[in-house]
Amino acid sequence: MSDAPGATPHQRELEEGIQRDFSRSMSYGDYLRLDVLLAAQEPLSDPPQHDELLFIVQHQTTELWLKLMVHELRSARDLLRTDDLAPALKRMARIKHIQHTLTDQWSVLATLTPSEYAQIRPFLATSSGFQSAQYREVEFLLGNKNADMVKVFAHDEGARSTLEELLHEPSLYDELLAHLARQGYAVPQRLLDRDWSRPRATDPDLIELFAGVYAAPAEHWGVYETCEELVDVEDAFQQWRFRHLQVVQRVIGHKVGTGGSSGVDFLRRALDLTFFPELYEVRTRIG
């Protein structure tokens, strides 16, 4: 039938204007540095194991998304510092989409069975996702500060230096509180002049402040919307953590992690961590 008169050919002809010669101009591969990017997947298994490429790609793409998330979080934090609330909210909206992508892609790694993972695990040696410097950057930017985490990167001066700086800088939440203070909200001074490297405890006066915002959303719409954006970010982060735990339990059960952690039990304890405690505590007060 394909040779019949008037039949539609099963091929799309290139349009005249489409670029064909890249000997003197930039190509798609040139711009994205695909020669470098696609050469970065170097399985170590010997004899080669089919599923090692999956494991490498999964974690490399995660690092790329984390790089973008760090970029957006830094920008959102800087915008709050200059009281540019609207674009800061735009950054947070993008962060949530990145988080959803990171959570969804766990489903690909979940296709790795325990038997398949056992074939590649010896070649991971002591490497572990726990050692992701960019993941720690995200946590520090969101306010989960822990000086002990910096010590894990003593072998990598660049990563250690970046985390040390973030440890002593205000988090996204700290900058929100400073922004609220400049707008006339009764943020306790002790929260504005504190040691940024120390983890925060839940503050009852801050709960009271947010209770007032939630009691009259129309009067505090910008702050109200920002609070809900932050809750969305934390909720998405917790979904990522829980999905991570599920996949690890499915693939390795309760084995000790390659980096020396207790594995599933260690991941489960992370579910108790919170970035914005007052934004959750205030919900008990609403209504």
> Where does 143-220 have alpha helices with state H?
147-151, 157-167, 172-182, 204-215
Prediction pTM value: 0.91
Q: Averaged over 20-49, what is the pLDDT?
A: 94
* Count of all residues that appear for the chain in the document: 287
Q: How many CA atoms lie within 13 A of 34 on its CB side?
A: 6
Q: Distance between the two ends of the chain, CA-based, in angstroms?
A: 70
| Distance from the Cα of residue 54 to its chain's centroid | 20
CA distances from 234 to 38, 221, 231, 243 (A): 33, 20, 5, 14
Q: Averaged over 107-116, what is the pLDDT?
A: 94
Q: Which parts are annotated binding residues? A: 55-59, 117, 121, 244, 258
Strands (E), the chain: none
Q: Which parts are annotated binding residues for heme? A: 244
Q: Which parts are annotated binding residues for substrate? A: 55-59, 117, 121, 258
State the pLDDT at residue 18: 84
Q: Tell me how far apart the alpha carbons of residues 181 and 188 are, in angstroms, rounded to a whole number.
A: 9
| Residue 220 confidence (pLDDT) above 60 | yes
The pLDDT tens digits of the residues spanning 198-214 come to 988 899 999 999 999 99
* Confidence label for 25 from pLDDT (cuts 50, 70 and 90): very high
Q: Tell me how far apart the alpha carbons of residues 252 and 118 are, in angstroms, rounded to a whole number.
A: 8
State the pLDDT at residue 76: 98
